[in-house]
Structure formats: structure tokens, C-alpha cells
Amino acid sequence: MDIIELDEIDSTNDELRRLAEKGAANFTIIAARKQTRGKGRYSRNWESPEGNIYLSILIKNLDVHTAHQVSFVAGLAALETVQINVDDHEVRLKWPNDVLADGKKVAGVLLESASSRPDRLDYLIIGFGINVKKSPDYATNMKKLGSTQNFGIIKTKLVDEFLKYYEIWLEEGFGKIRNLWLKNAMGLGEKIVANLPERHIEGIFVGLTANGELILDTNEGEKIISSGEVHAL
Ligand code: BT5
């Protein structure tokens, strides 16, 4: 798979959106050495100095009802990528798709989409930020975790792992992806808190629904969380 390599860009997601609007092909991939306006979810900032991976993949014409499941496909790919060479550390997925090593964030994924019809997405952009050599103080990176892997190999691995899990999703369905994801989940069976815009909900993280929502067992029964932030208690 070819990767369009850029030295610097505002955001690989934004650049890929611009390319998509001009008709870029399915599975166009772009990567940049650094970003000047890297983005997280909810318009948050993603620190993007040179030395890390910033890579976005374009997928066109997905079913609008299942497209968000690709978020778990992407999480698994990021997890496998971070895990090369960092065996002595606990690398886990945090819902919906952060990768944490020893409890600190080492990678994040941002999904963005566009649709002009009710049933299909025109496209989905999957943006990966993987801290290879640099990270904010509160986070971590692969080098700190002992990885000596070559940058190019890590990038190729990320794309290969994404395509591998994407194929599994297409052929075996979300159930398989969900199970793989849960095997690597942080806090399963433990008490966590979900921060929603209007309130916080505490409960035991018991699993994911058939659609990837978080299931919390709370004092008021089972609650289904479809978006937001979760933290260990
Ligand atoms: C994410 O958002 O984790 C998604 C990050 C996706 C970044 C990629 S890079 C390629 C593509 N192009 C883009 O412009 N974005 C994508 P979220 O869960 O909202 O986490 C954001 C929060 O993580 C921030 O508010 C900070 O607290 C923290 N943070 C910022 N930069 C970080 C970094 N480099 N490493 C770890 N944590 C970081």
C-alpha cells in the first residue's frame, strides 16, 4: 500500500479530507513527519512534534450504521503496532480507542466522516497518532517503553495491522473484532467512571454491546454508554 509522505501539514486528517473532496481513491493513506494543528476528539489538541507517527487512511462508501465499528479495528491496529518490542509493559486499549502503556497514553485514534446520503458515508478518515519518540509529560512513547524498532517498520506495521483487522471485520464481522478488543481492554470487570456531558456514571465495566457501546453495571442497573470518556476509579 502506497503512503503519501509529507514533511509537515496542519493535520493529516484535514489534508486527507481535502484530498477526499477532490476524489482521492479508496485506501489513500497519508503520513506527515509533524503536524502544526494535530487534532484529538472534540476539537482537542494532539501534540505532534517530529519523531512520531501521524497517519490517516481514507475508506469510502461505508454503511453508516456500522462504520463506527472501524474505530475498534483501528484501536487493535494501534495496539499491535505499539506492542512491537515493548513486551515488558502492560499495553491496553481504553474505550473507545486509546492505547495506554502502564496506564499512560501512547497512541490515539480520531475518526472523521462525511455523508451526503442517509445510508452510506461518503468517506471515513481514520487518523492515527502514535508516540514513537516524543510525548507530553503525562503521556508516554514507544522509545521510553524500550522499543528500538525502526520508524519505517513501525509505520508499515501500522498499515498492515489495520488492513489485517479490517479484513477480519469484513469477513468475520464485528463480533470477532469486539472479542479481540475486549481481550486487550483496560479495566474490564473493574469499577470505572464514564464522564458524560451532563453527568458522571460509575459502574463495573462488564463488556461492549453488539454495536461497540460500553456496558456499565451500575447501582441503577445496566447503562449503555455510546460516547464520552472513561476513567479508572
Ligand atoms: C485522540 O483524541 O486520542 C485522537 C488523536 C488522533 C491524532 C491523529 S494524528 C493523525 C491524525 N491527524 C490529526 O489531526 N489527528 C489524528 P482524544 O481522545 O481527544 O485525546 C486528546 C487528548 O490527549 C488531549 O486533550 C491531551 O490531553 C492528550 N494528548 C495530546 N497530545 C498527545 C500526545 N501526543 N500523546 C498523548 N496524549 C496526548
Q: Check pLDDT > 80 for residue 217.
A: yes
Annotated domain spans of the chain: 4-183, 191-232
User: Is the CATH number 2.30.30 carried by domain 191-232?
Assistant: yes
Mean pLDDT of the chain: 95
Ligand 1 centroid, distance to 126 Cα (angstroms): 13
The ligand 1 atom at the shortest distance from the C-alpha of residue 47 is 31
Asked whether 110 lines ligand 1 (CB < 6 A), one says: yes
pTM (2 decimals)? Answer: 0.96
Asked whether 12 lines ligand 1 (CB < 6 A), one says: yes
Between 196 and 121, residue with greater pLDDT: 121
Ligand 1 centroid, distance to 166 Cα (angstroms): 22
The 10s digit of each residue's pLDDT in 149-192 is 899 999 999 999 999 999 999 999 999 999 999 999 999 999 99
Average pLDDT on 4-20 reads 98
- DSSP string computed for 91-131: EEEETTTEEEETTEEEEEEEEEEE-SSSSEEEEEEEEEEE-
Beta-sheet strands, E only, within the chain: 4-9, 29-35, 53-63, 91-94, 98-101, 104-114, 120-130, 191-195, 200-208, 214-218, 221-225, 229-232
Q: How confident is the model at residue 227 (pLDDT cuts 50, 70, 90)?
A: confident
Asked whether 11 lines ligand 1 (CB < 6 A), one says: yes
- 4, 14, 43, 46: which to mutate for ligand 1, most atoms within 8 A of CB? 46
The 10s digit of each residue's pLDDT in 27-53 is 999 999 999 999 999 999 999 999 999
Ligand 1 centroid, distance to 100 Cα (angstroms): 12
Q: Select from 114, 118, 115, 102 the least CA-distant residue to 232.
A: 102
The ligand 1 atom at the shortest distance from the C-alpha of residue 52 is 34
Asked whether 41 lines ligand 1 (CB < 6 A), one says: yes
CATH number attached to the domain at 4-183: 3.30.930.10
Between 229 and 12, residue with greater pLDDT: 12
Asked whether 112 lines ligand 1 (CB < 6 A), one says: no
Q: How confident is the model at residue 232 (pLDDT cuts 50, 70, 90)?
A: confident
Asked whether 17 lines ligand 1 (CB < 6 A), one says: no
Ligand 1 centroid, distance to 46 Cα (angstroms): 4
Sign of CA dihedral 182, 187, 191, 193: negative
Q: Select from 80, 104, 110, 84 the least CA-distant residue to 180.
A: 80
